[in-house]
Amino acid sequence: MIIVSAFIILIALGQIFFVGRSSVKTETAFSYNFDEEIPFVGVFLRDETIVTDNRTGVLSYVYDDGIKVGKSTIVARRYKNDGDITKKREIEKLEKQIEMLESAEELLGTDNSQLEAISAQINESHSSIIDSISEGDFEKASEYRNNLLCAMCKREITLKESDGYSEKKQALNQRISELNALLSGGFYDVYAGGTGYFVSSIDGYEGEFGFSDIDKLTEDKINEVIAKPEKSAQNSSVIGKLVSDYRWRAAAVIDMGNMFGISTNSDVVVRIGSSSRMVKARVVSVKKCSDNKAIYVFECDDLMAEALASRTASFNLVLKSYGGLRVSRNALRENENGEIGVYIERDNRLLFKKINVEYWGEDYVICTQEAGEEYLKLYDSVVVEGKDLYDGKVV
């Protein structure tokens, strides 16, 4: 009887303490950003001048696209063969290494007062190398590698771990002499012949889409270029072009119903392609063309590589940006005061936390991060599934 009575008491206590306990499913409230955007494809308008060179030989460009040049700037060189280009590029790399060593040797005889600054350069160059590799920009990574080596050499000199690099420089100069002896001949310099931003590629539309050719634009013409952004016929003597202005314009046919409130002289924010970078632009022209569509012309003074090299690009017009905590819509609840919020699990109890919804998505909401303790916080465990939920419930 004593044993049976003990079991009955335990069962009764279990009913008291654990009645109503139910399993709940939770998810973590995390930070989230969302941009409400209008996608479109645009055609770039540029004032361009063709750069030509009629001589024979293999062409090697001196600079990357987008460099600002003057009339007498050398933009390319003509070599007799590909082998000469390879040797010449190796010579240039060796010469840069010599310059790096000579820069480090300038610290010979100085104290260690610059050691902190040199260490900062090493850390910065190392981080830049990692970032460049992760972005797939190996050429940039190579430049940062040279900066890192230069800083490390300076550190050696400053710490008196080296008394100079004369032997290393001698070996590099010897290699340069050997490569120069292997060159099959000289080369020809190709000059820009004008001022502007040099681009090595052409698309065949140069001269047809000028910066001020807004009135000549038609919906059919824009669609034609989007369908075929590069003409097939190319002149072999053309080696590139000069874009006269750092500003760029882009024309696009967009449904006017999506552009409510955006008209001529409106300031907007756009993204080009898949880039996360946003740039400010201005609508300089709106011309209705067919049905409910219009030709919108955007102007921006933020120079970007896409605006120089490509004739067309995918854009996203950013209408509004939202940022805050992301919460599933099925987690939303209403308390006895009619306030919208969610239940969170903390120390095996449910707590009701209010939210201020900024954006309503299809299956989630974005709510602002508020300061008060009564509001949802980052990393709270939000209940998304459960029955008979109430504030203070043991789970």
* Residue 220 scores a pLDDT above 50: yes
Give the residue among 260, 252, 249 at the shortest CA–CA distance from 295.
Answer: 252
Amino acid at 224: E
* Residue 206 scores a pLDDT above 70: yes
How far apart are alpha carbons 214 and 101 in whole angstroms? Answer: 54
In 10 A of CB 133, how many CB atoms? 13
Q: Which two tokens stand for residue 48?
A: 């361009």
Domains of the chain: 19-46+245-395 (2.40.30.170), 84-182 (no CATH)
For residue range 261-294, list pLDDT tens digits in order: 899 999 999 988 877 788 999 999 999 988 889 9
Give the residue among 32, 16, 29, 13 at the shortest CA–CA distance from 346.
Answer: 29
pLDDT band (50, 70, 90) for residue 40: very high
Distances (CA, A) of 201 to 52, 114, 194, 239: 12, 44, 17, 7
What 3-state class would DSSP assign to 218? coil
How far apart are alpha carbons 216 and 210 in whole angstroms? Answer: 10
For residue range 318-343, list pLDDT tens digits in order: 988 899 999 999 999 998 889 999 99
For residue range 354-386, list pLDDT tens digits in order: 999 999 988 999 999 999 899 999 999 999 998
DSSP 198: E
Sequence-separated contacts (24+) of 360-366 with Cβ below 8 Å: 360/329, 361/34, 361/329, 363/328, 363/329, 363/330, 364/326, 364/327, 364/328, 364/329, 365/326, 365/327, 365/329, 365/332, 366/32, 366/34, 366/322, 366/323, 366/324, 366/325, 366/326, 366/327
How far apart are alpha carbons 184 and 79 in whole angstroms? Answer: 9
Mean pLDDT of all residues belonging to the chain:
87
This prediction's pTM: 0.67
- Phi-psi category of residue 291: left, alpha or beta, with phi > 0 → left and psi -120 to 50 → alpha: left
User: Could you tell me if 354 and 369 are in contact, meaning their C-beta atoms sit under 8 angstroms apart?
Assistant: no
